[in-house]
A and B are shown apart, each in its own frame.
Chain A
Amino acid sequence: MIEVNNVFKSFDKPVLKGVSTTFETGKTNLIIGQSGSGKTVLMKSVVGIHSVDSGHILYDGRDITQMKRKERILLRREVGMLFQGSALFDSMTILENVMFPLEMFSYDSLEERRKRAIFCLERVELGHALDLYPSEISGGMQKRAAIARAIVLNPKYLFCDEPNSGLDPKTSLLIDRLIQEITHEFNITTIVNTHDMNSVMEIGENIVFINKGEKAWTGTKDDIFTSECEPLNDFVFASNLYKELRKAHAFFVSKKKD
């Protein structure tokens, strides 16, 4: 579990204004919000890429804001991250990319490291692409390879920064489901930063809505339909499709009550 307590962060102007929330273990925790709302800054602050101005971020009770550099480095070995652009190393094959964290931190034999990497790649259905380079595979496959690399060291915490950007709806769905399956299978604390409403409705087990640098709402994907939070409703139900969906949901709920 990751707890964020009263976190403030500003660059030229305040970006995060006293955000407090909890990201639960074994669940896909989503951070949603409009562009410029501060959700990426929140995620990067939680990961430790940005240092916070004040407040505390606790990884199962360990406060990352109070850690020394070396302690932070050790903590990061428990973290896997899926970047928006996959961030696979261009000069390495897919297998080498996934083996890379093991090469750096594992004392297993070469054969064992290779086995573990292949297991992770097969888990994301990329067993056939071991010797291909990132430039030779599609965006969806790159995302899956990046997920395999993120989980190869059995992380306790998985961060996904806009995992669906640039992907078609079908591939997005596959990536979302894969993230959720892996979260449940390995009991990871997963945090997904997204503004894709399909993802929210698919894997939103714990959603944090950030509006103008503040936590405006928190709940599950089912709670969204009954939310009274105006900024959230404006954001989630912006398209006609979701407006209709909300009406249909309200209709079915009232029918059920009757």
Chain B
Amino acid sequence: MNAIEKVGTYSMLMVRTFAIPDRWRMFFRQYVNEIQKQGLDSLAITVIISMFIGAVITIQMVLNTANPLLPDYATGLAVRDTLLLEFSSSILCLILAGKVGSSISSEIGTMRITEQIDALDIMGINSANYLIMPKVTAFMTVIPCLVIASMFFGIFGGYCMAYFTDIITVHQYVYGIQFMFNPFFITYSVIKGVVFAFIIASIASYYGYTVKGGSLEVGKASTDAVVNSSVIILLANVMLTKLMLS
């Protein structure tokens, strides 16, 4: 299947996906389940990664800003902007593309090869709408919470580093993270997160839904979903940054 054909198939699948659900009650039931599976179950990994990355960025910034011309609070400022602008949206979403994307792709792919999707179709149910729409909408809903949690815990990780070591004083760090704060950076990051969440969930669903064959193909689809969604996230990142920050 060539790239143009894949884009066409993906677009047609999305048209089928974003139709009015057969039963709203069933949609909301699935939606709540997906929020639990994709959101709450991703919170722990988000918190752990963000805290450690925040701590590491703090150490690296102290080393890189060891210059008499730069003020001491530059470390806190750099940590904040790195987390707010890039890590908590783009890098976090690249990490979640691995966790959530592969999970969605393998779940739907397994349903495809075990004829569960055929069973839905035979019942007269729009299987794309029933399976994919709750996943995409749930992930898009929950991602702002994960992005904001990542920002908070990343900055907290840097704070812990300042508190428990002598590389920088807590006062300088706190002053740095407050210095010239632009609230739009949070909005920018959240918007990027929502777009990336759509990319991750929809591309993973597409690869799972169109699987043909057996368990080997499901594994391959899962890998393809992660690789392709990562590449598209990077591309979308450049475009969104140019649109929103230039």
Contact = CB atoms under 8 A, between A and B. Distances in A.
A49 interface: yes
A49 B118 contact: yes
B23 A81 contact: no
A104 B118 contact: no
B23 A85 contact: no
Given A104-B22, A104-B23, A104-B26, A85 B121 contact: no
A83 B119 contact: yes
B116 interface: yes
Contacts of A159: 122
B118 A77 contact: no
B119 A76 contact: no
Nearest to A100: B123
A27 to B, nearest CB: 21
B124 A76 contact: yes
A73 B115 contact: no
A224 to B, nearest CB: 30
Contacts, number: 49
A74 B126 CA distance: 11
A103 interface: yes
A81 B123 CA distance: 8
Contact of B115 (A47, A75, A87): A87
A84 interface: yes
A79 interface: yes
Majority-rule SS of A interface residues: mixed
Contact of A47 (B23, B25, B122): B122
Interface string A80-96: 01011101111000000
A139 interface: no
B145 interface: no
Nearest to A159: B122
Contact of B116 (A84, A87, A103, A104): A87
Interface string A60-77: 000000000000011111
B120 to A, nearest CB: 9
B118 A83 contact: yes
Given A85-B114, A87-B114, A104 B123 contact: yes
A77 B122 CA distance: 8
A89 B118 CA distance: 11
Chain B CB within 10 A, most for which of A75, A77, A89, A104: A104
Contacts of A85: 114-115
A101 interface: yes
A49 B115 CA distance: 12
A77 B26 CA distance: 17
Contacts of B125: 104
B58 to A, nearest CB: 42
Contacts of B23: 103-104
B124 A73 contact: yes
B22 A81 contact: no
Contacts of B26: 103-104
A76 B116 contact: no
Interface in B108-154: 110-111, 114-116, 118-119, 121-126
Interface string A98-111: 00010111000000
Given A85-B114, A87-B114, A77 B119 contact: no
Contacts of B110: 90
Tell which of B22, B26, B115 has the most Cβ of chain A within 10 Å: B115
Contact of B118 (A75, A87, A101): A87
Contact of B123 (A76, A84, A88, A90): A76
Interface in B187-223: none
Contacts of A74: 124
Given A104-B22, A104-B23, A104-B26, A76 B115 contact: no
B18 to A, nearest CB: 16
B22 A76 contact: no
Which are the 9 A-B pairs with shortest beta-carbon distances? Answer: A76-B124, A87-B115, A87-B119, A77-B124, A73-B124, A81-B122, A83-B115, A87-B116, A101-B123
21 contacts: A47-B122, A73-B126, A74-B124, A75-B124, A76-B122, A76-B124, A77-B124, A79-B122, A81-B119, A83-B115, A83-B118, A87-B114, A87-B119, A89-B116, A89-B119, A90-B110, A90-B114, A101-B123, A103-B23, A103-B26, A104-B23
Given A73-B124, A90-B114, 13 more contacts: A49-B122, A74-B124, A76-B124, A77-B124, A79-B124, A81-B119, A83-B118, A84-B115, A85-B115, A101-B123, A103-B25, A104-B22, A104-B125
